[in-house]
Amino acid sequence: MRPEGHRWWRRLLATALGLAVLCAAGVAAAWPLTPSVSDAAARVRSRLAPHQAPVLARLPFPDRVGEAIVATEDSRFYAHWGIDLQGVLRAALHVASPGDAGGATLDQQLAKNLWTGNSGLLAKLEQVELSLKLEARYSKHELLRLYLAMAYFGHSYYGLPAATEGYFGVSPDAVSWAQASLLAGLVQAPTAYDPYRHFDLARRRQQHVLDRLVATKVLTRAAASAAYRASLALRPA
């Protein structure tokens, strides 16, 4: 490699290290300024209480809805520490693959729904800090349980138990892959993908979720195709 090339790589490495140090310093400085996340479960219960929705006490077994949401919303959930740098980079370069959440992890969505709401750049920065705090305090299984417990699935169904009972008349443990993929597709836009009012769009979204389950090797293509053909057994609206 030419000397100019060596210098370019050294500058790039120095810049990356400098940014990493600045980011670490920023996280350390902001840590005491952001709320504690020890009350996450209490915040979930408070969110559910006005709707008289049951609390999800444990992850379902099998956890088909959780697997479908991870595959669709945050496929690197079990690999990152609250912030998916690869997702952020893809979003910044506008090359995110279909279904990527644009860098917003499940942790960040939890932070937004339980603490910050949608209020601009400062809120997004706070969500990053809270995501790191969530990862430091809770296991991945507990974080997924909190997410499923408070997610909104449309039709005033807050939390997974209310959604599976409301749409299908079954418990979270008993949903099929067909039903799980439909539910996982709702969390992004419950009104737009309402299966009663916009069935064709809901089915298109369901197919996308099944494609993500194949891409992440949770399902085979044959199993995903069978799930798409299976009856949803939706209860009357």
Residue 31: Cβ within 10 Å count: 12
Asked if the model's pLDDT at residue 33 lies above 80, the reply is no
Asked if the model's pLDDT at residue 22 lies above 50, the reply is no
Question: How high is the pLDDT of residue 120?
Answer: 82
Architecture of domain 34-229 in this structure: Orthogonal Bundle (1.10)
Cα gap 52→44, rounded to integer Å? 12
Asked if the model's pLDDT at residue 15 lies above 80, the reply is no
Name residue 228's amino acid.
Y
Cα gap 93→87, rounded to integer Å? 10
* Cα of 14 vs its chain's centroid, Å: 33
Cα gap 180→70, rounded to integer Å? 12
Question: How high is the pLDDT of residue 34?
Answer: 86
161-170 pLDDT, tens digit per residue, is 999 999 999 9
Question: How high is the pLDDT of residue 90?
Answer: 54
Q: Which residues of 106-142 are buried (b: 16+ CB within 10 A; e: fewer)?
A: bbbbbbbbbbbeeeeeeeeebbbbbbbbbbeebeeee
Question: How high is the pLDDT of residue 149?
Answer: 98
Name which residue leads in pLDDT, 18 or 90: 90
Percentage with pLDDT > 70 across the chain? 79
Mean pLDDT of the chain: 86
Question: How high is the pLDDT of residue 84?
Answer: 86
Confidence band of 67 (pLDDT split at 50, 70, 90): very high
Question: How high is the pLDDT of residue 6?
Answer: 58
Confidence band of 23 (pLDDT split at 50, 70, 90): very low
pTM as predicted: 0.84
70-112 pLDDT, tens digit per residue, is 999 999 999 999 998 765 555 444 444 444 444 589 999 999 9
194-223 pLDDT, tens digit per residue, is 999 999 999 999 999 999 999 999 999 999
